[in-house]
């Protein structure tokens, strides 16, 4: 029997970012278990920033889903979840958005969550989605990541600061509002002393649950 395939679609064309997401999923790869394949949309934008990006990526995600009918589950590895509703109409397989998965996991674990966002503009987008899920009032707050300088250390310092701001607002668990940070999850959990959720890991975990059952 062939292992079921979990297809992780990064709407960004950034190869290094896809590689980072891919490495973050190694812990979820079980020998003999479902296959987890992670790839970039080749003609996607490097970063998904604008509403136009989201519409355009939505259509590209749809094409990718049509091209891979063998997938037993699909994960859309962008916190803006481009094409989620569209993809759901194209396959009988479950299609999981990483924001949904992260938030629902957080709610099953703790009272209130905080989100580290990449921009002010994305926060209003996230709130629209929280209202759709029906759990806006479980959000302790959302804060924009600030980086001073380049490199992983500057990034980690910014993540710690953002996490502490969210804890001060009452967050019991912190969610990365971006798919690019799995390498920092464990270290940030230790620094903050509360759970940190990487959204792509959460979504692939939920996909595992679906394809195994």
Q: Which of residues 154 and 170 has its CB atom nearest to its own copies in the complex? A: 170
Residues with Cβ within 8 Å of residue 144, at least 6 apart in sequence:
117, 118, 119, 120, 123, 162
Q: How many residues bind its own copies (CB under 8 A)?
A: 52
The interface mask with its own copies, positions 48-67, x = CB under 8 A, is --xxx-xxx-xx--x-----
Q: Which of 18, 22, 64, 100 binds its own copies (CB under 8 A)?
A: 100
Report d(CA 16, CA 18) in Å as an integer.
5
- Assigned token pair, 19: 């590689």
Q: Which of 85, 146, 147, 152 binds its own copies (CB under 8 A)?
A: 85
> Any contact of residue 137 with its own copies (CB under 8 A)?
yes
> Any contact of residue 70 with its own copies (CB under 8 A)?
no
User: Are 177 and 113 in contact, with CB atoms under 8 Å apart?
Assistant: no
> Measured from the CB of residue 116, what is the shortest distance to its own copies in angstroms?
17
> Measured from the CB of residue 156, what is the shortest distance to its own copies in angstroms?
19
User: Are 163 and 105 in contact, with CB atoms under 8 Å apart?
Assistant: no
**Binders in 140-199 for its own copies, by CB under 8 A:** 198
Report d(CA 58, CA 43) in Å as an integer.
12
Q: Which of 19, 46, 132, 146 binds its own copies (CB under 8 A)?
A: 132
> Any contact of residue 109 with its own copies (CB under 8 A)?
yes
Report d(CA 207, CA 198) in Å as an integer.
14
Report d(CA 202, CA 208) in Å as an integer.
10
Stretch that binds its own copies, among 30-38, 40-48, 143-151, 157-165 (CB under 8 A): 30-38
User: Are 151 and 180 in contact, with CB atoms under 8 Å apart?
Assistant: no
> Any contact of residue 128 with its own copies (CB under 8 A)?
yes
What is the β-pairing status of strands 196-197 and 173-176? parallel
- In the chain, the N- to C-terminal Cα span, in Å, equals 16
> Any contact of residue 86 with its own copies (CB under 8 A)?
yes
Binding site for its own copies (CB under 8 A): 27-28, 30-33, 50-52, 54-56, 58-59, 62, 83, 85-86, 88-89, 94, 96, 100-101, 104-105, 107-109, 111, 124-125, 127-128, 131-138, 198, 201-202, 205-206, 208-210, 212-213
């Amino acid at each position: 029997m062939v292992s079921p395939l979990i297809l992780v679609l990064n709407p960004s064309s950034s190869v290094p970012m896809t590689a980072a997401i891919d490495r973050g999923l190694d812990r979820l790869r079980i020998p003999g278990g479902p296959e987890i394949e992670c790839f970039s949309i080749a003609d996607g934008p490097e970063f998904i920033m604008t509403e136009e990006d989201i519409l355009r990526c939505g259509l590209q995600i749809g094409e990718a889903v049509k091209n891979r009918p063998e997938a037993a589950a699909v994960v859309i590895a962008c916190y803006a979840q481009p094409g989620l509703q569209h993809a759901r109409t194209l396959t009988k397989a479950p299609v999981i958005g990483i924001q949904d998965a992260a938030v629902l996991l957080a709610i099953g674990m703790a009272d209130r969550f905080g989100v580290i966002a990449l921009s002010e503009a994305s926060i209003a987008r996230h709130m629209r989605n929280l209202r759709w899920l029906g759990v806006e009032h479980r959000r302790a707050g959302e804060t924009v990541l600030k980086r001073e300088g380049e490199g992983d250390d500057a990034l980690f310092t910014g993540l710690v600061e953002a996490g502490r701001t969210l804890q001060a607002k009452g967050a019991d668990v912190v969610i990365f509002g971006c798919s690019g940070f799995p390498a920092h999850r464990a270290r940030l959990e230790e620094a903050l002393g509360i759970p940190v959720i990487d959204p792509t890991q959460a979504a692939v975990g939920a996909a595992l649950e679906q394809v195994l059952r």
